[in-house]
Chains A and B, each alone.
Chain A
Amino acid sequence: MTPAKSAGKTLAGRTDFSIIGEIIQPRSKVLDLGCGEGELLAWLVENKSVIARGVEIEAARVQKAIARGLSAYQGDINEGLTDYPNDAFDYVILSQTLQETKDPRRVLSEMMRIGRRAIISFPNFGHWKVRLSMLLSGQAPKTRLFPYDWYDSPNIHFLTVSDFEAFAVKQGFRIERRYFVAGAEKVSLMPNLLAEVAVYLVRK
């Protein structure tokens, strides 16, 4: 694999991975929350020589991540972060999981405590297709990024680009960089309407 040069390239089929790969400095210490089978961490180890750690709740995925040689552990990010000391990591990553957490505010403040920087990506609920889907059908929206029925969706906290921006101001987080993408394309205008996925680099 070659390092992602632009947002257009994808890593394990996910555009936000390639952006995250771009942000992270070589040889830094990284914690990936909800690391899945460790696709992103494995890429970062290979290409950025990072010191990688992962947390994942699903047993089969943790096993795959460990089988890859990654230091992942089976645990719940809603509870498990309190054990880490302050500033334990250069980056703490939460990739498309924020909308699934029980207490996003707590998860984010823990991320800021244990990491010098946090990288947060999430599907934008403000995207025009989501709005249109809801407007036209009058039902909980279903789109490419929100493919679930309301009753089996893992997403329990929907948020938009504007929501996150306002939230960051309120919590006193400093947004260092922001990236918006739709499909494999970068979005620069009207991200709250046009971005499917947002990626933020945040520090305290």
Chain B
Amino acid sequence: MIVETQCSRFDSISLESGATLAPVEVAYQTYGKLDSEKSNAILILHAFTGDAHAAGIDHETGKPGWWDNMIGPGKAFDTDKYFVLCSNVLGGCQGTTGPSSINPATGLPYAMAFPVITIRDMVKLQRKFVASLGIERLLAVAGGSMGGMQALEWAVSYPEMVRASIPIATTTRHSAQQIAFNEVGRQAIMADPDWCDGNYYDKKPPGRGLGIARMVGHITYMSDESMREKFGRRLREKEKLGFDFNVDFEVESYLRYRGSQFVNRFDANSYLYITKAEDYFDLTNGSGSLAEAFERGETRFLVISFSSDWLYPPYQSQEIVRVLRRLNRDVAYSDLQSNYGHDAFLVDVVEQTDLIRGFLASTYRAVYA
């Protein structure tokens, strides 16, 4: 399946902060075919550093999509049956308007003049995009981590447009620990002299800060156990300790490599804006209760958590389930056993595939019942 990123342009979007962004572009990919009733569309929502290239082989880079093991013919999101969409989030740097986009007022990149955005704003733009394809109601929205936040936000903001929501390894609000890790990442970027208050687009980007931010991120995506299995205390291409500050351990080498690679594909300012959006995320919007947030609509839910995920621990998923149960809503929940930590949602596909395939099939059946 060779795929290509496409782009849609919209006149403007008004944001939760009160600011307006005009114009705004959305980068997206589609897989499979929209049926004549336009009722088999599934919107995939990517995590923090993901992009629109969720599945298939990109015609330019030749690389597989970030969830290619889950999306495709015969897979969990079966493209023989469903029309699957994925778009880059607002504030991103992979084709959708973000801080690295050109500000029409100045002719220069927005940089820190880009307005602060929220998860709700991301979803609002996705709604515009979905509606522009003539789709009135999605069969499902699905995503892990920040993608899960969007899956929840969809069901709260536009319940009439979502038959089913699949939030995976996620939360209804960012916790102090989650905010704390994000803040370390942001401070690492902003402390890099190359950051230049965000105005680095014609210069050297703040690669050291962004690299460190990514290193911290990667630690939180793994688990104690998976790190022990993968690296242990193994030394990197040496027999004994170096007694210096070059790389001794495999794990150091891995993190440095991941950090340096990340700089090539991700914009530091997008890192700031998107982590801020995650930290602001609270489905109750600061007031009211979760029950009030979920009050409207008949969206059904499949909630999935992973036992070793300490960044978005299972208790946060169970909180979602508890609220939905209190409202007597249709919710399925499974806590999958895994050693991979938060990364499990990208790696552990066998059980997830069974769950999602069954859940989507019964949702789809109900449409035509």
Contacts and interface: CB of A to CB of B under 8 A. Distances in A.
Q: Report, as a range, how many residues of chain A touch the other chain.
A: 20 to 34
Interface string A42-73: 00000000010100000100111011111111
B332 A70 contact: yes
A84 B357 CA distance: 27
A85 B328 contact: yes
Nearest to B322: A83
Contacts of A63: 334, 336, 351, 354-355
B108 interface: no
Interface string A152-173: 0000000000000000000000
A69 B365 contact: yes
B328 A84 contact: yes
Contact of B333 (A64, A74, A84): A74
A135 interface: no
A66 B355 contact: yes
A88 interface: yes
A84 B326 contact: yes
A74 B330 CA distance: 14
Contacts of B330: 51, 53, 71
B298 to A, nearest CB: 11
Contacts of A66: 302, 332, 334, 354-355, 358-359
A83 B328 CA distance: 9
Interface in A73-113: 73-75, 80, 83-85, 88
Interface in B299-351: 300, 302-303, 321-322, 325-328, 330-337, 351
B361 interface: yes
B61 interface: no
A69 B361 contact: yes
Contacts of A67: 354-355, 357-358
A73 B362 contact: no
Contacts of B331: 71, 73
A8 B263 CA distance: 69
Contacts of B327: 85
A62 B334 contact: yes
A59 B334 contact: yes
B333 A69 contact: no
A69 B358 contact: yes
B325 to A, nearest CB: 4
Query: Most chain-B Cβ atoms within 10 A of its Cβ — which of A67, A75, A80?
Result: A67
A84 B300 contact: no
Given A59-B334, A63-B334, A85-B326, A73 B358 contact: no
Interface string A182-200: 0000000000000000000
B42 to A, nearest CB: 16
Contacts of B332: 66, 70-73
Given A83-B322, A83-B326, A59 B357 contact: no
A159 B332 CA distance: 32
A59 B334 CA distance: 7
B198 to A, nearest CB: 45
A66 to B, nearest CB: 5
A67 B359 CA distance: 6
Contacts of A85: 326-328
A88 B325 CA distance: 10
A59 B355 contact: no
B353 to A, nearest CB: 9
A40 to B, nearest CB: 16
Nearest to A114: B328
B335 A74 contact: yes
Contacts of B303: 73
B330 to A, nearest CB: 5
Contacts of B355: 63, 66-67
Interface in B166-199: none
Contact of B328 (A69, A73, A80, A88): A88
Contacts of A51: 330
B288 to A, nearest CB: 19
A69 B330 CA distance: 12
Given A59-B336, A73-B332, A73-B333, 5 more contacts: A66-B334, A67-B358, A70-B362, A80-B325, A84-B325
Interface of A: 51, 53, 59, 62-64, 66-75, 80, 83-85, 88
6 contacts: A66-B332, A67-B355, A69-B362, A73-B331, A73-B333, A84-B326
- Sorted nearest first, the 5 A-B pairs with minimum C-beta distance are A69-B362, A73-B333, A67-B358, A67-B354, A83-B325
